[in-house]
């Protein structure tokens, strides 16, 4: 959904209600847990957030608050959407003077303890998304060296005619999202010290 004005809470609620009953817009649902499928562009961003259990728990809490989308030009709605399989979220992006409202459903959640503890989730696009594909957001704590990492893995391809037409700009925005999301998570972790 495109708009010259930022969508209201009511319009986003209606949009998500309509989208929630629809199927994913791609067939490789869950592929970010294994291997992204052929025919998609794959993006990966990985950044070290710090070290130790406190950083891991802080990053986990930030992910649960959808901090990775607090970018100014991209927002998740609603930020109180629980990280739970089946939940639907809207992602708004501001580009070329318009708001782009997109829908996605959480495909799976990762919550593992062990030598490498992990927390995160993947969401997949619904028909109301300008892209088609899946994106995984993951926090990892490697107890062997105490390092904590934020990792994004995504595969996508255009799902809207305007995205096809402006694809070079879209690719720049996707790479910028990875960098900005990593910086947002780093800020969230540093501010909780």
Question: What's the CATH code of the domain at 144?
Answer: 3.30.530.20
pLDDT tens sequence across 54-63: 999 999 999 9
Beta strands in 55-115 (DSSP E): 74-77, 88-95, 98-112
Total domains present in the chain: 1
pLDDT tens sequence across 103-140: 999 999 999 999 999 999 999 999 988 899 999 999 99
For residues 134 and 125, the answer to whether their CB atoms sit within 8 Å is yes
pTM comes to 0.93
The parent domain of residue 97 ranges over: 2-191
Distance CA 122, CA 183 (A): 19
Would strands 41-51 and 74-77 be described as parallel, antiparallel, or unpaired?
A: unpaired
For residues 22 and 126, the answer to whether their CB atoms sit within 8 Å is yes
Which one, of 46, 25, 50, 18, lies nearest residue 138 by Cα? 46
30 backbone dihedrals φ, ψ, rounded to 5°: 90, 0
């Amino acid at each position: 959904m495109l708009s010259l004005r930022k969508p209201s809470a009511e319009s986003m609620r209606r949009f998500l209600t309509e989208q929630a009953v629809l199927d994913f817009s791609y067939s490789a649902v869950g592929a970010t847990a294994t291997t992204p499928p052929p025919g998609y562009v794959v993006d990966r961003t990985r950044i070290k957030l710090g070290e130790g259990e406190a950083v891991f728990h802080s990053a986990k809490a930030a992910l649960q608050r959808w901090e990775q989308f607090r970018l100014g030009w991209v927002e998740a709605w609603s930020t109180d959407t629980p990280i739970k399989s089946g939940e639907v979220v809207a992602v708004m992006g501001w580009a070329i003077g318009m708001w782009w409202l997109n829908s996605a459903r959480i495909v799976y959640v990762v919550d593992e303890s062990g030598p490498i503890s992990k927390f995160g989730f993947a969401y997949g696009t619904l028909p109301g998304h300008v892209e088609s594909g899946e994106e995984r957001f993951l926090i990892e704590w490697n107890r062997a060296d105490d390092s904590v990492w934020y990792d994004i893995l995504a595969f996508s391809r255009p799902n809207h005619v305007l995205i096809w037409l402006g694809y070079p700009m879209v690719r720049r925005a996707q790479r910028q999202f990875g960098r900005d999301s990593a910086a947002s998570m780093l800020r969230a972790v540093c501010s909780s010290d």
